[in-house]
Amino acid sequence: MALPKYTETRYRIWHYFYIAICTFVFIFLIAPLFVIFPLSFNAEEFLVFSEGMKNLDPDAFSLRWYKDMVYGTKNPWGLAAKNSFIIAIFATLGSVILGTVAALGLSSRHMPFKGIIMATLISPMIVPLIISGVAIFFFMAKAGLAATHTGIVLAHIILGTPFVVITVTATLSGFDHSVTRAAASLGSNPVNTFMKVTLPLILPGVISGGLFAFVTSFDEVVVVLFLAGLENTTIPIQMWTGLREQLSPTILAVATCLIVLSTLILISAELLRRRSERLRGINR
Amino acid sequence: MSNETKQILTTDGIPLEISLKKAERKNKIKAFLLVAPLLLFLIITYIFPIGEMFTRSIDDKMITNMLPKTFKSMETWDGKELPSEEVFASFLSDFKILVDKKEHGKLAQRLNKEKNGFNTITKKLFRQVKRNKIDETQSIKEQIMKVHKRWRNVEYWQAIKRTAPPYTSAKYLKAMDMYLNEDNKITQVSEDRRIHRILWLRTVEVAFFVTVFCFLMGYPIAHLLATLPMKYSNLLMICVLLPFWTSLLVRTASWMILLQQQGVVNDFFVIIGLVSDDNRPEMMYNKVGTYVAMTQILLPFMVLPLYSVMKTISPSLMRAGKSLGGTPFVAFWKVYFPLTIPGIGAGCLLVFILAIGYYITPALVGGASGTLISNQIAYHMKTTLDWSFASAMGLMLLGGVLVIYWLYNKLVGVDNIKLG
């Protein structure tokens, strides 16, 4: 972003002002995540940087809250983590299967009523979550699935499929359909063609849709608050109750773990995106 | 012409046109069958229940089923003076059935909602019925009127008559702080009880300002990301994507730590001398907290669509604008900015719709002023169990969102919503 030598002073000033604004916004975006790290290693119970921490005194840091998170008596985090992972994994599987199959149909040029069907399929993303929550709760209550894992998994499939549909249709838009015809002409049946030809080519899109679905489920709190009973508590529910009652350092330990997890997800999503762009021949 | 087309046959001897149509239809069915499982699943578990919210929100059948005979005999009553003996008799017989089913409490509750004072007089009547004090061989009207003076008041009978229709718009009116008065006219509730309108306004206000803040902060950085060389912009993109992938509650928690009175932001203000140490401003549990936290949380949803649009704008356009004599500002305003409008539209729509249905963050950092309409919906779903009221408010919110969506479609056109 170096300025050419002939730039007038007022544009020079404007340019530095612009850089300053951008720097501020980037700090605003990323800094909050880094506050949690040091505080989660706090040896004390308060959620402020103690004098010892400011002086980098090793005694001021400890793994106390991480131990509390894992071994703490009456701590709900173990059950919550287990539930969260089980629910997110099944919800992701369901979303990916239903969403990918639907995207295959949607990107066919023979699809009738494409517009309205697409609108229906991505509606859970557009409708405010609280309304989805109420509607899904009514269904689950009627079907007797409230306060069950199955109910929550189904709810998260509803919320997750739009992401899969969108990413997979986007991947399929650059897909060369002649390869499936080639496979068919070589005697492959449609299922075989899909597994051996189409799927490997659209896999980056499918996986990144799956990542969206996973994160949606793993981070979802509004709908779960309606559906979950005591047995189905998840990490977001525990954090919600924890933050409402009292902000304890244990929550920060959990939050740190979640940030590490989201970093891993971010890295895999980025790698996938680049790979799929390379495959689609987009080089910028 | 038509003769010629008819002559083209496939190898099986079927006219080509028919054969093509058949193949076309087969393909259509194939494509539809692929979509069908998800479509069916969503219709059953999602679209129908939203429809059910509507029937639930206007449903008032409970009392219609509780007092069938009363409402039947009330049909001929003009509603001006006390109803006839027949109405009283059928009311008593309906009431006796309810007492047997132990549902008289529900009736009292429902009637009390219509007009205050029904609770007491229904209880009194219940006691008389329980003790078999009412002699059915004599005038029932006289006896009921003796139970409590309100049974002699025609207004209470008018209130009963008003509950007769199986559908009601009361929940929608209540959500707007209005009700139907005795003459079936829409009236506002008294000033000190108008809570919902404040919540609606606050919800729209918060969503609007959060969208504006997100736009003001998101536009410059999206521009920077789109114009920087790839190796730098990829690195900076992490600053946008990491919050995007991080749990909403984690980000809310970090803002709670940052904004508290002994928190880092206040520390910083003290260090640079903006405020004195003993006079730290309260930044949490008020609107400041809500705006700051929600803006940071929703900012990636503004940046990503803007970025994907800006990425497609060729830098030579700006150069051309400048070489044709425009100052950088003019070139930006006349060339670059109009090209980014689809991105602005998509980003603002996304942020506004997400913000309007939000309630986790405002509930945690907003304090009393952080109660938005969604909190109210959740409250009625979970605490008061007035599901029909929650449904009514939810549908009103949904209606608002759909109107915004429609407007957006008219003004900008629904672009593919891109996810980075």
Query: Is residue B79 in some structural domain?
Result: yes
Give the pLDDT confidence score for residue A158 in this predicted structure: 96
Query: Is residue B373 in some structural domain?
Result: yes
Neighbouring CB atoms inside 10 A of A219's CB total 21
Judged by a CB distance cut-off of 8 A, whether residue A139 touches chain B is yes
List, for residues B174-215, the tens digit of each pLDDT value.
Answer: 888 888 776 777 878 887 778 888 889 999 999 999 999 999
- The C-alpha atoms of residue B71 and residue B205 are separated, in whole angstroms, by 45
pLDDT at residue A2 above 70? no
- Is B153 in the same domain as B301? no
Exposure of A66 in the CB half-sphere (CA atoms within 13 A): 12
Interface test with B, best of A3, A29, A136 (most B CBs within 10 A): A29
Q: How many domains does chain B have?
A: 3
Lowest mean pLDDT among A220-234, B124-138, B287-301, B336-350: B124-138
Give the pLDDT confidence score for residue B104 in this predicted structure: 83
- Is B30 in the same domain as B84? no
Query: Is residue A1 in some structural domain?
Result: no
- Is B212 in the same domain as B71? no
- Is A61 in the same domain as A87? no
List, for residues A183-240, the tens digit of each pLDDT value.
Answer: 989 999 988 998 888 888 888 889 889 999 999 999 999 999 999 888 888 999 988 9
Query: Is residue A121 in some structural domain?
Result: yes
CA A193 to chain centre: 30
Could you list the residue range(s) of the whole structural domain that residue B396 is in? 196-411
Mean pLDDT on A254-279: 83
Residue, of A139 and A70, whose pLDDT is higher: A139
- Is A26 in the same domain as A56? yes
pLDDT mean across residues, chain B: 84
Q: A130 and B239 in contact by Cβ < 8 A?
A: no
Q: What is the CATH classification number for the domain harbouring B323?
A: 1.10.3720.10
- Is B145 in the same domain as B210? no
Contacts of residue B56 in chain A, CB cutoff 8 Å?
A: 138
Lowest mean pLDDT among A90-104, B159-173, B230-244: B159-173
Judged by a CB distance cut-off of 8 A, whether residue B167 touches chain A is no
- Is B38 in the same domain as B83? no
- Is A144 in the same domain as A234? yes
List, for residues A83-108, the tens digit of each pLDDT value.
Answer: 999 999 999 999 999 999 999 998 88
Whole-number Cα distances in Å, B122 to B62, B98, B104, B226: 17, 12, 8, 71
Report which residue type is found at A57. Answer: D
Q: B381 and A154 in contact by Cβ < 8 A?
A: no
pLDDT at residue A282 above 80? no
pLDDT at residue A284 above 50? no
Interface test with A, best of B30, B45, B199 (most A CBs within 10 A): B45
Nearest-Cα distance to chain B for A212, in Å, is 9
Percent with pLDDT over 70 in chain A: 95
Could you list the residue range(s) of the whole structural domain that residue A44 is in? 9-65
Query: Is residue B144 in some structural domain?
Result: yes
Query: Is residue B29 in some structural domain?
Result: yes
Q: What is the CATH classification number for the domain harbouring A237?
A: 1.10.3720.10
- Is B203 in the same domain as B291? yes
- Is A191 in the same domain as A55? no
Q: Enter the DSSP assignment of B167.
A: B
Give the pLDDT confidence score for residue A232 in this predicted structure: 86
Q: Enter the DSSP assignment of B152.
A: G
Query: Is residue B365 in some structural domain?
Result: yes
- Is B136 in the same domain as B222? no
Q: How many domains does chain A have?
A: 2
The dihedral through the CA atoms of B94, B96, B98, B103 has a sign that is: positive
- Is A15 in the same domain as A130? no
Last residue of a domain, one of B127, B144, B166: B166
Residue, of B391 and B103, whose pLDDT is higher: B391
- Is B81 in the same domain as B39? no
- Is B226 in the same domain as B357? yes
Contacts of residue A259 in chain B, CB cutoff 8 Å?
A: 246, 250
Angle in degrees, CA B204, B208, B214, rounded to 5: 145
- Is A254 in the same domain as A148? yes
Residue, of A227 and B81, whose pLDDT is higher: A227
- The C-alpha atoms of residue B217 and residue A24 are separated, in whole angstroms, by 9
**What DSSP element (H or E) covers B399?**
helix B387-411
- Is A60 in the same domain as A90? no
Query: Is residue B187 in some structural domain?
Result: no
List, for residues A102-126, the tens digit of each pLDDT value.
Answer: 999 988 888 888 888 888 898 998 8
- Is B38 in the same domain as B109? no
- Please name the residues between 44 and 73 in chain A that touch chain B, using a CB distance below 8 Å: 47-49
Residue listed under structure tokens 């918060």: B206
Which residue of B33, B243, B360 is in closest CB contact with A33?
Answer: B243
Of the candidates A219, A109, A106, the residue with the CA atom closest to the CA atom of residue A168:
A106
Query: Is residue B286 in some structural domain?
Result: yes
- The C-alpha atoms of residue B175 and residue B189 are separated, in whole angstroms, by 11
Of the candidates B52, B31, B36, B53, the residue with the CA atom closest to the CA atom of residue B380:
B53
Mean pLDDT on A117-138: 90
